[in-house]
Amino acid sequence: MSLNDTNQMIAAALGGATLLVVIIGWLRWFRPRWRRVRQITTAVTETILGREAIIDAATGATLVPVQPGLGLRLATQEHQMDQMTDAVAKIAGSHERLDALEGRVTALELAHVHTPHLSLGGT
């Protein structure tokens, strides 16, 4: 066996070991991180664009309902905030009316003059 043959065997062994390390590195380090990146990307995409319902193929049951896109959900929130603002404004108006009525009742109570009871009989 010559030195050239020995060098080729060592190079083949080092190449195989390097390939094995790359495969193990892929399986243990890179693949879980790549899956996590894909999950995050999918979650962000579904949050922004929405998602169709997830339906079980065997039973036809809906496993996860439809998730509307972010624009539709924000529009719904805006509509609900408008309704809540209107309700708060109506409550504030009711309080103002109640305060005004309380002031009028108090003024009437203070201004109420007790008139003597007049009897129709002549004594």
Asked if residue 14 and residue 53 are part of one domain, the reply reads yes
Q: Is residue 5 part of a domain?
A: yes
Secondary structure (DSSP) of the chain:
--HHHHHHHHHHHHHHHHHHHHHHHIIIIIHHHHHHHHHHHHHHHHHHH-BPPEE-TTT--EEE--B--HHHHHHHHHHHHHHHHHHHHHHHHHHHHHHHHHHHHHHHHHH---PPPPPSS--
- Decide if 122 is inside a domain: no
| One domain, residues 61 and 2 | yes
Same domain, 72 and 62: no
Final residue belonging to a domain, choices 48, 66, 84: 66
Which residue segment(s) compose the domain that 25 sits in? Answer: 1-66
pLDDT of residue 120: 59
> In the chain, what percentage of residues exceed pLDDT 90?
51
Which pLDDT value is given to residue 2?
A: 86
74 and 105 housed in the same domain: yes
Tell me the pLDDT tens digit for each residue of 99-122: 999 988 888 888 775 555 555 555
Per-residue pLDDT of the chain (123 residues; tens, 9 = 90+): 788 889 999 999 999 999 999 999 888 888 889 999 999 999 999 889 988 998 989 999 999 899 898 888 899 999 999 999 999 999 999 999 999 999 888 888 887 755 555 555 555
Q: Do 60 and 73 share a domain, yes or no?
A: no
CB 72 within 8 A of CB 50: yes
Looking at the structure, tell me whether residues 44 and 33 fall in a common domain.
yes
Q: What is the pLDDT of residue 110?
A: 82
Report the pLDDT value the prediction gives residue 17, as an integer from 0 to 100: 95
Confidence (pTM): 0.48
Q: How many domains does the chain have?
A: 2
> Do both 5 and 61 map to the same domain?
yes
